[in-house]
């Protein structure tokens, strides 16, 4: 919001801003804030106790599940990095939730080529995960 107001101040001579610009400013502000929160400094283990043998409450969740999810995620990232560039890009956009036409437009390919790359890339990805003993 502050960034938008700043932009408004700089843009007073024009008086108008496109809606897409306002959305972009709001989006970038939100993402920057999320990144800032995630950069919180790590706390040494000894600092977490209360000094009386008790420890601070831990975050909610299932540690085993979190660990398993982390391992699966790491395996997916490793396997993606081993794919050819074009297959990796097509599969990445597919897993992000883009349709084939959307992925094709973003990557500058035609839909048929993109569909083939998604198909073959997913097969490669599954094969790699199986070789690692990972089944999401």
Partner 1 sequence: MSTQDEPHEAEERLRAAFQARRTAATTPEGCPAAADLWSAVRGELPVEKRRALVDHTSLCGACAEAWRLAMDVSRELPPVSRPWRVSLAPLAAAAALVLALGGAWLFWAHRPVEAPGFRGGEAPVIRSLIREDAALPRSDFRLRWSPGPDGSRYDVRVTTESLQVLAGGQRLAEPSFLVPESALAPLPKDSRILWRVEAVLPDGERTASATFVTRLE
CB of 74 to partner 1, least distance (A): 7
Site for partner 1, rule CB under 8 A: 1, 4-5, 8, 11, 15-20, 22-24, 26-32, 34-35, 38, 60, 62, 65, 68-70, 72-74, 76-77, 80-81, 85, 88-89, 91-93, 95-98, 105-108, 122, 125-126, 136
Radius of gyration of the chain (CA): 22
User: Residue 16 or residue 43: which is nearer to partner 1 going by CB?
Assistant: 16
Residue 97, phi then psi, degrees to nearest 5? 110, 5
Shortest Cβ distance from residue 46 to partner 1 (Å)?
Answer: 25
- Return d(Cα 136, Cα 134) in angstroms, integer: 6
Token readout for 12 is 């007073």
Q: Which residues pair with 49 in a beta bridge?
A: 55
Give 14 or 47: the residue with its C-beta nearer to partner 1.
Answer: 14
**Residue whose entry in the numeric block shows the structure tokens 């097509």:** 90
Q: Quote the tokens at residue 84.
A: 């050819």
Nearer to partner 1, 8 or 120 (CB): 8
Nearest CB to partner 1, comparing residues 12 and 46: 12
């Amino acid at each position: 919001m502050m960034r938008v107001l700043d932009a408004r101040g700089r843009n007073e001579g024009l008086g108008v801003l496109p809606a897409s610009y306002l959305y972009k400013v709001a989006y970038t502000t939100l993402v920057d804030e999320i990144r800032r929160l995630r950069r919180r400094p790590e706390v040494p283990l000894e600092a977490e106790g209360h000094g009386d043998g008790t420890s601070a409450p831990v975050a909610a969740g299932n540690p085993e599940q979190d660990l398993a999810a982390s391992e699966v995620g790491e395996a997916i990232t490793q396997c993606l990095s081993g794919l050819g560039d074009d297959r990796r890009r097509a599969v990445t956009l597919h897993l992000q939730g883009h349709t084939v036409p959307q992925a094709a437009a973003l990557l500058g390919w035609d839909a048929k080529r993109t569909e083939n790359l998604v198909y073959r890339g997913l097969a490669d990805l599954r094969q790699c995960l199986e070789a690692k003993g990972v089944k999401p």
